[in-house]
Amino acid sequence: MPVYHLSESVQPASRARSSGDVRVPRLRNVRHRMALSQEELADKSGVARSTIIKLEAGHDAWPSTVRKLAAALGVKPADLQ
């Protein structure tokens, strides 16, 4: 059986989606508007670059991760949804 290593801020695929999970479909657009690379956003927010890649691909995020990203981008969490 394969072993998967997930960043702690991305929901495991086997876990059922809960009402607290968040999708951030505007993350890439806001990041581009701020002229930040994924690496720069990772450094600024404390969120792993691999997590940012997964979130921009449509994975669900923990609310705390969304708050970190929003703070680093200078926007409200709702602006990323």
Assigned domain for 7 exists: no
Say if CB 70 and CB 76 are below 8 A apart. yes
Number of domain units in the chain: 1
Assigned domain for 41 exists: yes
Radius of gyration of the chain (CA): 12
pLDDT, residue 12, reads 54
Query: Which pLDDT tens digit goes with each residue over 11-63?
Result: 555 455 566 789 999 999 999 999 999 999 999 999 999 999 999 999 999 99
What residues make up the domain containing 37?
Answer: 27-80
Assigned domain for 73 exists: yes
Find the CATH number of the domain harbouring 42: 1.10.260.40
> Would the pLDDT of 80 be above 50?
yes
